[in-house]
Amino acid sequence: MRISRKAVSDGSAYSLAARLSPDSQGQTEGRGLGYSLRDIAEELGAQVHGDENCRIDRVATLADAGQGSISFLANRRYRPQLLSTRASAVILEAEFLSACPVAALVVANPYLGYARVAALLGPRQPVPQGVHPTAYVSDKARLHPSACIGPQAVVEDQASVGAGSYIGPGCLVDRGVSIGESCTLKANVTICHDVVIGDRALLHPGVVIGADGFGIANDGGVWVKVPQLGTVIIADDVEIGANTTIDRGALADTVIEDGVKLDNLIQIGHNVRIGAHTAIAAGVAIGGSAIIGKRCTIGGAASVAGHLEIADDVHLTATSAVPNTISEPGLYSSGMPIQDNRTWRKNVIRMRQLDEMAKRLRKLEKKLDEK
Protein backbone atom coordinates (compact mmCIF):
# COMPACT_ATOMS: atom_id res chain seq x y z
CA MET A 1 0.00 0.00 0.00
CA ARG A 2 1.30 3.40 -0.97
CA ILE A 3 -0.10 6.76 0.04
CA SER A 4 -0.26 9.19 -2.87
CA ARG A 5 1.99 12.19 -2.69
CA LYS A 6 0.26 15.57 -2.81
CA ALA A 7 1.63 19.05 -3.23
CA VAL A 8 1.84 21.36 -0.22
CA SER A 9 -1.42 23.26 -0.14
CA ASP A 10 -0.33 26.60 1.25
CA GLY A 11 3.18 27.08 -0.11
CA SER A 12 6.20 26.92 2.16
CA ALA A 13 8.44 29.73 3.31
CA TYR A 14 11.00 28.55 0.78
CA SER A 15 8.58 29.17 -2.08
CA LEU A 16 7.64 32.49 -0.45
CA ALA A 17 11.26 33.58 -0.62
CA ALA A 18 11.49 32.44 -4.21
CA ARG A 19 8.38 34.35 -5.26
CA LEU A 20 9.54 37.64 -3.82
CA SER A 21 11.41 39.41 -6.58
CA PRO A 22 15.01 40.55 -6.09
CA ASP A 23 13.77 44.13 -6.44
CA SER A 24 11.54 43.69 -3.40
CA GLN A 25 14.40 42.49 -1.23
CA GLY A 26 16.87 44.93 0.24
CA GLN A 27 19.80 45.19 2.57
CA THR A 28 18.93 45.84 6.20
CA GLU A 29 21.82 47.48 7.98
CA GLY A 30 24.18 44.84 9.30
CA ARG A 31 21.65 42.03 8.80
CA GLY A 32 21.78 41.01 5.13
CA LEU A 33 18.64 40.55 3.05
CA GLY A 34 15.33 41.71 4.44
CA TYR A 35 11.78 42.15 3.21
CA SER A 36 9.47 45.10 3.17
CA LEU A 37 6.42 44.86 5.40
CA ARG A 38 4.28 45.26 2.27
CA ASP A 39 5.81 42.19 0.64
CA ILE A 40 5.33 40.09 3.76
CA ALA A 41 1.73 41.29 4.09
CA GLU A 42 0.92 40.34 0.51
CA GLU A 43 2.25 36.84 0.98
CA LEU A 44 0.45 36.31 4.30
CA GLY A 45 -2.78 37.88 3.13
CA ALA A 46 -2.50 40.39 5.99
CA GLN A 47 -3.70 43.98 6.29
CA VAL A 48 -0.91 46.52 6.79
CA HIS A 49 -1.28 49.35 9.29
CA GLY A 50 1.57 51.83 9.43
CA ASP A 51 4.75 52.09 7.36
CA GLU A 52 4.46 49.40 4.70
CA ASN A 53 7.97 50.17 3.43
CA CYS A 54 9.79 49.42 6.68
CA ARG A 55 12.37 46.66 6.35
CA ILE A 56 12.05 43.43 8.32
CA ASP A 57 14.99 41.04 8.66
CA ARG A 58 14.36 39.02 11.83
CA VAL A 59 11.73 37.86 14.32
CA ALA A 60 11.82 38.51 18.06
CA THR A 61 9.63 38.51 21.14
CA LEU A 62 7.66 41.62 22.02
CA ALA A 63 10.00 42.28 24.96
CA ASP A 64 13.28 41.76 23.09
CA ALA A 65 12.47 43.20 19.67
CA GLY A 66 14.29 46.16 18.18
CA GLN A 67 14.59 48.00 14.89
CA GLY A 68 14.12 45.64 11.94
CA SER A 69 12.33 43.02 14.04
CA ILE A 70 8.84 41.68 13.63
CA SER A 71 7.04 40.20 16.61
CA PHE A 72 3.58 38.75 17.25
CA LEU A 73 0.81 38.75 19.83
CA ALA A 74 -1.06 35.45 20.02
CA ASN A 75 -1.84 35.41 23.74
CA ARG A 76 -3.62 38.31 25.45
CA ARG A 77 -1.49 37.79 28.57
CA TYR A 78 1.35 39.49 26.68
CA ARG A 79 -0.68 42.59 25.86
CA PRO A 80 1.30 44.74 28.35
CA GLN A 81 4.47 43.92 26.38
CA LEU A 82 2.77 45.10 23.20
CA LEU A 83 2.33 48.58 24.64
CA SER A 84 6.09 49.01 25.12
CA THR A 85 7.52 46.96 22.28
CA ARG A 86 10.30 48.43 20.13
CA ALA A 87 9.65 46.10 17.18
CA SER A 88 9.31 47.58 13.72
CA ALA A 89 6.06 45.65 13.27
CA VAL A 90 3.79 43.24 15.13
CA ILE A 91 1.55 40.48 13.80
CA LEU A 92 -1.77 40.55 15.68
CA GLU A 93 -5.54 40.27 15.54
CA ALA A 94 -7.72 43.27 14.78
CA GLU A 95 -8.92 43.62 18.38
CA PHE A 96 -5.41 44.56 19.54
CA LEU A 97 -4.65 47.03 16.75
CA SER A 98 -5.59 50.13 18.75
CA ALA A 99 -3.05 49.18 21.44
CA CYS A 100 -0.16 48.68 19.02
CA PRO A 101 2.38 51.54 19.04
CA VAL A 102 4.18 50.42 15.85
CA ALA A 103 3.28 49.14 12.39
CA ALA A 104 1.10 46.04 12.36
CA LEU A 105 0.04 43.12 10.20
CA VAL A 106 -3.53 42.14 11.01
CA VAL A 107 -4.34 38.46 10.50
CA ALA A 108 -6.88 35.97 11.84
CA ASN A 109 -4.19 33.67 13.29
CA PRO A 110 -1.12 35.59 14.53
CA TYR A 111 0.75 32.46 15.63
CA LEU A 112 0.43 30.96 12.16
CA GLY A 113 1.58 34.26 10.65
CA TYR A 114 4.58 34.27 12.98
CA ALA A 115 5.44 30.69 11.99
CA ARG A 116 5.48 31.56 8.29
CA VAL A 117 7.52 34.72 8.75
CA ALA A 118 9.97 32.94 11.06
CA ALA A 119 10.50 30.26 8.43
CA LEU A 120 11.09 32.95 5.82
CA LEU A 121 13.55 35.01 7.86
CA GLY A 122 15.29 32.23 9.80
CA PRO A 123 18.73 31.00 8.78
CA ARG A 124 18.75 28.28 6.14
CA GLN A 125 21.87 26.24 5.71
CA PRO A 126 22.54 25.17 2.13
CA VAL A 127 22.26 21.40 1.74
CA PRO A 128 25.45 19.93 0.25
CA GLN A 129 25.27 17.33 -2.46
CA GLY A 130 27.04 14.03 -2.88
CA VAL A 131 28.30 11.27 -0.63
CA HIS A 132 30.68 11.86 2.27
CA PRO A 133 33.90 9.78 2.01
CA THR A 134 33.09 7.95 5.27
CA ALA A 135 29.54 6.99 4.23
CA TYR A 136 28.63 3.58 2.81
CA VAL A 137 26.25 3.47 -0.14
CA SER A 138 25.46 0.14 -1.77
CA ASP A 139 26.04 -0.16 -5.49
CA LYS A 140 22.46 -1.35 -5.67
CA ALA A 141 21.04 1.77 -4.01
CA ARG A 142 19.52 4.63 -6.04
CA LEU A 143 20.47 8.17 -5.14
CA HIS A 144 19.29 11.31 -6.90
CA PRO A 145 22.32 13.40 -7.92
CA SER A 146 21.14 16.25 -5.68
CA ALA A 147 20.81 14.06 -2.58
CA CYS A 148 23.38 14.24 0.22
CA ILE A 149 24.66 11.34 2.33
CA GLY A 150 26.47 12.51 5.45
CA PRO A 151 29.44 11.14 7.41
CA GLN A 152 29.23 7.46 8.43
CA ALA A 153 25.70 7.09 7.09
CA VAL A 154 24.70 3.76 5.54
CA VAL A 155 22.40 3.24 2.54
CA GLU A 156 21.73 -0.42 1.81
CA ASP A 157 20.69 -2.46 -1.25
CA GLN A 158 17.60 -1.38 -3.22
CA ALA A 159 17.16 1.72 -1.07
CA SER A 160 16.31 4.97 -2.86
CA VAL A 161 16.81 8.60 -1.82
CA GLY A 162 14.99 11.34 -3.71
CA ALA A 163 16.01 14.74 -5.04
CA GLY A 164 17.26 17.25 -2.49
CA SER A 165 17.06 14.84 0.44
CA TYR A 166 19.66 14.88 3.20
CA ILE A 167 20.71 11.78 5.14
CA GLY A 168 22.59 13.00 8.22
CA PRO A 169 25.60 11.60 10.09
CA GLY A 170 25.28 8.05 11.36
CA CYS A 171 21.89 7.35 9.77
CA LEU A 172 20.88 3.89 8.56
CA VAL A 173 18.70 3.59 5.47
CA ASP A 174 18.11 -0.15 5.31
CA ARG A 175 17.44 -2.34 2.29
CA GLY A 176 14.41 -1.52 0.19
CA VAL A 177 13.68 1.79 1.92
CA SER A 178 12.16 4.53 -0.24
CA ILE A 179 12.74 8.17 0.78
CA GLY A 180 11.08 10.89 -1.26
CA GLU A 181 12.17 14.37 -2.26
CA SER A 182 13.41 17.17 0.02
CA CYS A 183 13.48 15.01 3.13
CA THR A 184 15.81 15.68 6.06
CA LEU A 185 17.07 12.96 8.36
CA LYS A 186 19.07 14.41 11.22
CA ALA A 187 21.85 12.45 12.96
CA ASN A 188 21.49 8.77 13.90
CA VAL A 189 18.08 8.14 12.39
CA THR A 190 17.32 4.47 11.70
CA ILE A 191 14.97 3.53 8.87
CA CYS A 192 14.45 -0.24 8.84
CA HIS A 193 13.90 -2.37 5.75
CA ASP A 194 11.17 -1.60 3.21
CA VAL A 195 9.84 1.53 4.94
CA VAL A 196 8.32 4.13 2.60
CA ILE A 197 8.69 7.86 3.35
CA GLY A 198 7.05 10.53 1.21
CA ASP A 199 8.26 14.03 0.34
CA ARG A 200 9.45 16.80 2.67
CA ALA A 201 9.68 14.62 5.78
CA LEU A 202 11.71 15.93 8.73
CA LEU A 203 13.07 13.30 11.11
CA HIS A 204 14.96 14.50 14.18
CA PRO A 205 17.91 12.72 15.84
CA GLY A 206 17.40 9.22 17.14
CA VAL A 207 14.14 8.46 15.33
CA VAL A 208 13.57 4.75 14.63
CA ILE A 209 11.07 3.81 11.92
CA GLY A 210 10.13 0.21 11.19
CA ALA A 211 11.48 -1.73 14.16
CA ASP A 212 9.50 -4.88 14.98
CA GLY A 213 6.16 -4.38 16.69
CA PHE A 214 5.58 -5.96 20.09
CA GLY A 215 4.04 -9.19 18.87
CA ILE A 216 4.34 -12.24 21.14
CA ALA A 217 2.22 -15.38 21.66
CA ASN A 218 2.11 -17.39 24.87
CA ASP A 219 2.99 -21.06 24.73
CA GLY A 220 2.43 -22.50 28.18
CA GLY A 221 4.05 -19.59 29.97
CA VAL A 222 6.79 -19.10 27.38
CA TRP A 223 6.65 -16.13 25.03
CA VAL A 224 7.04 -16.85 21.31
CA LYS A 225 7.86 -14.02 18.90
CA VAL A 226 5.28 -13.28 16.21
CA PRO A 227 7.00 -12.24 12.95
CA GLN A 228 6.28 -8.66 11.94
CA LEU A 229 5.72 -8.85 8.20
CA GLY A 230 4.30 -5.42 7.39
CA THR A 231 6.13 -2.13 7.04
CA VAL A 232 5.61 1.59 7.77
CA ILE A 233 4.18 4.05 5.25
CA ILE A 234 4.82 7.73 5.99
CA ALA A 235 3.13 10.27 3.71
CA ASP A 236 4.16 13.82 2.80
CA ASP A 237 5.08 16.74 5.08
CA VAL A 238 5.41 14.62 8.22
CA GLU A 239 7.67 15.73 11.09
CA ILE A 240 8.89 13.23 13.68
CA GLY A 241 10.60 14.35 16.89
CA ALA A 242 13.77 13.07 18.51
CA ASN A 243 13.81 9.47 19.75
CA THR A 244 10.28 8.76 18.60
CA THR A 245 9.68 5.18 17.44
CA ILE A 246 7.14 3.85 14.95
CA ASP A 247 6.82 0.05 14.74
CA ARG A 248 6.28 -1.86 11.52
CA GLY A 249 3.01 -3.69 11.00
CA ALA A 250 2.48 -7.33 11.85
CA LEU A 251 0.64 -8.17 8.61
CA ALA A 252 -0.79 -4.89 7.27
CA ASP A 253 1.22 -1.66 7.46
CA THR A 254 1.56 1.09 10.03
CA VAL A 255 0.45 4.30 8.29
CA ILE A 256 1.20 7.95 9.10
CA GLU A 257 -0.84 10.22 6.81
CA ASP A 258 -0.07 13.65 5.30
CA GLY A 259 1.04 16.49 7.54
CA VAL A 260 1.17 14.57 10.83
CA LYS A 261 3.41 16.23 13.45
CA LEU A 262 4.94 14.05 16.16
CA ASP A 263 6.89 15.37 19.14
CA ASN A 264 9.81 13.69 20.92
CA LEU A 265 9.74 10.33 22.70
CA ILE A 266 6.48 9.00 21.26
CA GLN A 267 5.83 5.26 20.90
CA ILE A 268 3.54 4.18 18.06
CA GLY A 269 2.72 0.48 17.98
CA HIS A 270 2.32 -1.85 15.02
CA ASN A 271 -0.57 -1.41 12.59
CA VAL A 272 -1.50 2.01 13.98
CA ARG A 273 -2.97 4.49 11.54
CA ILE A 274 -2.73 8.23 12.26
CA GLY A 275 -4.94 10.52 10.19
CA ALA A 276 -3.78 13.54 8.23
CA HIS A 277 -2.72 16.70 10.09
CA THR A 278 -2.94 15.18 13.56
CA ALA A 279 -0.43 16.55 16.11
CA ILE A 280 0.84 14.51 19.06
CA ALA A 281 2.90 15.91 21.97
CA ALA A 282 5.83 14.27 23.74
CA GLY A 283 5.65 11.07 25.74
CA VAL A 284 2.48 9.67 24.18
CA ALA A 285 2.08 5.88 23.80
CA ILE A 286 -0.30 4.44 21.20
CA GLY A 287 -1.08 0.72 21.35
CA GLY A 288 -1.06 -1.56 18.34
CA SER A 289 -3.85 -1.40 15.74
CA ALA A 290 -5.32 1.84 17.12
CA ILE A 291 -6.76 4.19 14.50
CA ILE A 292 -6.41 7.92 15.15
CA GLY A 293 -8.53 10.26 13.06
CA LYS A 294 -7.65 13.35 11.08
CA ARG A 295 -6.87 16.73 12.66
CA CYS A 296 -6.68 15.33 16.18
CA THR A 297 -4.43 16.67 18.91
CA ILE A 298 -3.08 14.50 21.73
CA GLY A 299 -1.48 16.15 24.77
CA GLY A 300 1.77 15.07 26.36
CA ALA A 301 2.06 11.74 28.22
CA ALA A 302 -1.39 10.57 27.09
CA SER A 303 -1.93 6.89 26.38
CA VAL A 304 -4.18 5.26 23.81
CA ALA A 305 -5.01 1.57 24.16
CA GLY A 306 -4.70 -0.74 21.18
CA HIS A 307 -7.47 -1.91 18.85
CA LEU A 308 -9.68 1.16 19.27
CA GLU A 309 -10.68 4.09 17.06
CA ILE A 310 -10.58 7.82 17.69
CA ALA A 311 -12.79 9.95 15.45
CA ASP A 312 -11.64 12.95 13.42
CA ASP A 313 -11.20 16.25 15.29
CA VAL A 314 -10.80 14.72 18.75
CA HIS A 315 -8.59 16.60 21.22
CA LEU A 316 -7.09 14.85 24.25
CA THR A 317 -5.60 16.89 27.07
CA ALA A 318 -2.26 15.95 28.65
CA THR A 319 -1.99 12.63 30.56
CA SER A 320 -5.37 11.42 29.32
CA ALA A 321 -5.82 7.64 29.22
CA VAL A 322 -8.05 6.30 26.44
CA PRO A 323 -9.25 2.72 27.04
CA ASN A 324 -12.23 2.78 24.66
CA THR A 325 -13.22 4.02 21.21
CA ILE A 326 -14.12 7.72 20.87
CA SER A 327 -16.71 8.10 18.14
CA GLU A 328 -17.57 11.81 18.41
CA PRO A 329 -15.32 14.85 17.89
CA GLY A 330 -14.63 17.11 20.85
CA LEU A 331 -12.36 17.76 23.83
CA TYR A 332 -11.69 14.86 26.21
CA SER A 333 -9.77 14.65 29.48
CA SER A 334 -8.94 12.14 32.20
CA GLY A 335 -6.55 11.90 35.12
CA MET A 336 -6.48 13.82 38.37
CA PRO A 337 -4.95 17.31 38.46
CA ILE A 338 -2.10 17.86 40.91
CA GLN A 339 -2.97 18.79 44.52
CA ASP A 340 -1.19 18.92 47.84
CA ASN A 341 -0.22 15.51 49.15
CA ARG A 342 -2.49 15.60 52.20
CA THR A 343 -5.57 16.26 50.09
CA TRP A 344 -4.53 13.67 47.52
CA ARG A 345 -4.13 10.96 50.18
CA LYS A 346 -7.62 11.70 51.55
CA ASN A 347 -9.10 11.54 48.05
CA VAL A 348 -7.38 8.23 47.31
CA ILE A 349 -8.94 6.77 50.46
CA ARG A 350 -12.35 8.07 49.41
CA MET A 351 -11.91 6.54 45.96
CA ARG A 352 -11.21 3.14 47.54
CA GLN A 353 -14.44 3.49 49.48
CA LEU A 354 -16.60 4.42 46.48
CA ASP A 355 -17.77 0.87 45.74
CA GLU A 356 -18.89 0.25 49.32
CA MET A 357 -20.56 3.66 49.45
CA ALA A 358 -22.40 2.91 46.20
CA LYS A 359 -23.71 -0.38 47.60
CA ARG A 360 -24.97 1.35 50.74
CA LEU A 361 -26.63 4.05 48.64
CA ARG A 362 -28.47 1.44 46.55
CA LYS A 363 -29.75 -0.23 49.71
CA LEU A 364 -31.05 3.09 51.03
CA GLU A 365 -32.74 3.87 47.72
CA LYS A 366 -34.36 0.46 47.70
CA LYS A 367 -35.75 0.99 51.22
CA LEU A 368 -37.14 4.38 50.22
CA ASP A 369 -38.78 2.89 47.15
CA GLU A 370 -40.48 0.23 49.32
CA LYS A 371 -42.12 2.81 51.57
Same domain, 228 and 321: yes
Q: 153-175, pLDDT tens digit by residue?
A: 999 999 999 999 999 999 999 99
Same domain, 92 and 184: no
Query: Order of strands across the sheet with 303-304?
Result: 136-137, 154-155, 172-173, 190-191, 208-211, 245-247, 267-268, 285-286, 303-304, 321-322
State how far the Cα of 325 lies from the Cα of 310, in Å rounded to an integer: 6
- pTM: predicted TM-score of the whole model, two decimal places: 0.84
State how far the Cα of 327 lies from the Cα of 267, in Å rounded to an integer: 23
Q: 197-212, pLDDT tens digit by residue?
A: 999 999 999 999 999 9
Q: What is the CATH number of the domain that holds 266?
A: 2.160.10.10
Single out the residue in 57, 90, 121 at which a domain terminates: 121
Catalogue the active-site residues: 270
Residue 8 lies in a domain: no
Phi–psi pair at 129, nearest 5 degrees: -115, 155
Same domain, 147 and 36: no
Counted domains in the chain: 3
- Where does residue 40 fall: left (phi above 0), alpha (psi -120 to 50 degrees), or beta otherwise? alpha
Phi–psi pair at 184, nearest 5 degrees: -130, 120
Q: What is the pLDDT of residue 370?
A: 82
Residue 2 lies in a domain: no
Same domain, 352 and 254: no
Same domain, 175 and 248: yes
Same domain, 158 and 245: yes
State how far the Cα of 309 lies from the Cα of 326, in Å rounded to an integer: 6
Residue 4 lies in a domain: no
Q: 248-306, pLDDT tens digit by residue?
A: 999 999 999 999 999 999 999 999 999 999 999 999 999 999 999 999 999 999 999 99
Domain boundaries, position 351: 340-371
46 by DSSP, 3-state: which? coil
Q: What is the pLDDT of residue 2?
A: 37
Same domain, 166 and 141: yes
Q: What is the CATH number of the domain that holds 38?
A: 3.40.1390.10
Same domain, 261 and 156: yes
- Where does residue 143 fall: left (phi above 0), alpha (psi -120 to 50 degrees), or beta otherwise? beta
Q: 14-68, pLDDT tens digit by residue?
A: 333 434 433 333 333 334 458 999 999 998 999 999 999 999 999 999 999 999 9
Could you tell me which residues come within 8 angstroms of residue 298 by beta carbon, excluding any fewer than 6 positions away? 278, 279, 280, 281, 284, 292, 304, 315, 316, 320
209 by DSSP, 3-state: which? strand
